[in-house]
Structure 1
């Protein structure tokens, strides 16, 4: 049979993805990717460490990232993304920039991280005050807020689950409930953290209900990586992806933001002061306004972390 008329396969642009060892949402990443782009995924080595900030550091060590990027270099991606929120915010702004440098040195390929892409996305939509949803423990959630505060982003409210494993199994209904609890203090946007937390199908629903842009870890990771190769992420009517969702008939009422746009990052600039609002833990428990670091052994739950 003559199949020469098919003429394919279609030429592809390549995006390399470095994910934590237990990342389970490969399919979710693909849903934001146009047909002429391929994702090439690799994972960090397994580490049998219980949930902690130290665990987040282990999956983001520079040599670990360099080895992963060198493996991806064999398929010649045009950009490489580190798809882990906690691993890319645990060292603060300087740590995130250092991770990108290490990845770029390993293959001379542009690199992005989830947390760095989040800051880019907040600048894109003009958001300076955000609500935060995480599946993390208290101390990991506090580290995210430290990272945001250093970048000049105020956290108005939060909700977290305190999970230490199997984060990818959290149902959409729990994500929606946490978002409703966190969206206090008139934020400009809401961010759902962790690349191992499913979010694709709930973003349009939450934007319509909360009347604000909703960002998620996997969404900003793919969006940020594709921007580096001149491509646009695809998805159902999301404010980050579609400017019409910010200005059309069902636009978000908080945009444009009444505050100035987030400034571009400066190299190793000192932290800026930040203000925090109340905390909500899923299930209705309230914490104090600040999130103090947990004493040793006081993390909620146990078992290996689902980093992201």
Structure 2
């Protein structure tokens, strides 16, 4: 069978990922990646230490990073990302910057870390007060709060699981429960920490329920890495990725729906007596402002079967 007409595989852009040895969510990272981008992953060497501040320091040593970067350079990625939150915030702002610099020097490529990407994402959405959810112990969670404080970000509430192993097994329901507990003081956003904690499918649900942007470690890592190569991360209705989502449930205060075709009556000025205008009233009834349909761009014309008017609700 002649398949020469297919023209070969689609050209790919490359993103190099350095992850800790116990990282188990390779597939989750791919879910934010467009079809014309490939991820090239490598892991840091195994060390027999439970999830802790000590482990965070071990998996982020500069020599370890340089060796991992050299392995990735062989497949010529365009950007490098260190996918570990605790490993990149354990040394504070200065430590995070030094890690990025060490990777960039070793690979001669633009480089970033999850914690650095988090700060960029918070700036992108204008968040200065955040609620924090982590699977970590108290000491590791404290370190994250110190890192954010150093960057001028206030932590308004937090919830953590106290885990030291197998974080990837945490179900979505536990993440949701923690988010509800942490986001009680009207923060600007919620951050779910740890690249080994599943979050992809739960982000839109939490944004709709909590009515605020929700960021996660894997999400911000992929968003920042793809942005470095001029690509956009993909994902279902996430405020960080979609400006429309920022104006949707995550940005709206709860309010009762208005009846279709009904608006507040205008009050004429004292010097201008009101005159009934039945024709104008009838014309306006078909075009009264209402909540846009789900998935519909308000600037686009509506389907012809509705005659350009909003559908009844």
TM class by smaller structure: 0.7 to 0.9
The Cα shift of 1:107 comes to: 1.1
Equivalent in the alignment of 2:169 = 169
Give, in whole Å, the separation in 1 of the partners of 2:198 and 2:100. Answer: 25
Q: Residue 240 of structure 1: CA displacement? A: 0.2
- Cα deviation 1:142-195 (Å, max 9, x = unaligned): 000000000000000000000000000000000000000000211000000000
Distance 1:2 1:165 in 2: 51
User: What residue is the counterpart of 1:258 in the other structure?
Assistant: none
Question: Which whole-Å CA distance do the structure 2 matches of 1:253 and 1:204 have between them?
Answer: 14
Following superposition of structure 1 onto structure 2, how do residues 254-265 of structure 1 map, counting pairs within 5 Å? none
Could you tell me which residue of structure 1 aligns to residue 252 of structure 2? 253
- Structure 1 position 50, deviation (Å): 2.9
- How far residue 52 of structure 1 moved from its aligned partner, in angstroms, is 2.5
Note if 1:183 corresponds to 2:189. Answer: no
Question: What secondary structure does 1:200 align onto?
Answer: coil
- Counterpart Cα distance in 2 of 1:246 and 1:48: 42
Give the equivalent residue in structure 2 for 1:87: 87
Taking structure 1 as the reference length, what is the TM-score of the superposition? 0.81
Q: Residue 244 of structure 1 contacts residue 251 of structure 1 at CA under 8 Å; is this kept in 2?
A: no
| Deviation, structure 1 residue 8 | 2.3
Determine whether 1:76 maps to 2:76: yes
Does the Cα contact within 8 Å between 1:176 and 1:202 map onto a contact in 2?
yes
Give the TM-score of the pair, scaled to structure 2.
0.80
Q: Within 5 A, what are the aligned runs for 1:43-54?
A: 43-54=43-54
Separation in structure 1 between the aligned mates of residue 232 and residue 51 of structure 2, nearest angstrom: 34
How far has the Cα of 1:251 moved from its partner?
A: 4.5
Distance across 2 between alignment mates of 1:56 and 1:124: 27
Which secondary structure state, in structure 1, belongs to the residue aligned with residue 201 of structure 2?
helix
Alpha-carbon spacing, 1:251–1:52, altered in 2? closer, same or farther (3 Å): closer
Runs (5+) with no aligned partner, structure 2: 254-313
2:121–2:220 Cα contact (<8 Å) kept:
yes
Q: For the residues of structure 1 that align with 2:48 and 2:117, how far apart are their CA atoms?
A: 28
Aligned mates of 1:54, 1:167 — CA distance in 2: 17
1:71 shift after superposition:
0.4
Larger displacement relative to structure 2 (4-13 or 26-35): 4-13
Indicate the residue corresponding to 2:197 in structure 1. 197
Q: After superposition, where does 1:111-260 map in structure 2 within 5 Å?
A: 111-248=111-248, 250-253=249-252
**Partner SS for 1:162:** coil
Q: Which runs of 4+ in 1 moved over 2 A?
A: none
SS in 1 for 2:93: helix
SS in 1 for 2:39: strand
Provide the rounded CA distance (Å) in 2 between the counterparts of 1:115 and 1:166.
21
Question: Is the 2:137–2:163 Cα contact (8 Å) retained in structure 1?
Answer: yes
In 2, are the aligned partners of 1:114 and 1:217 still within 8 Å (CA)?
A: yes
Q: Is the 8 A contact 2:213 2:250 kept in 1?
A: no
In 2, the alpha carbon distance for the partners of 1:58 and 1:27 equals 25
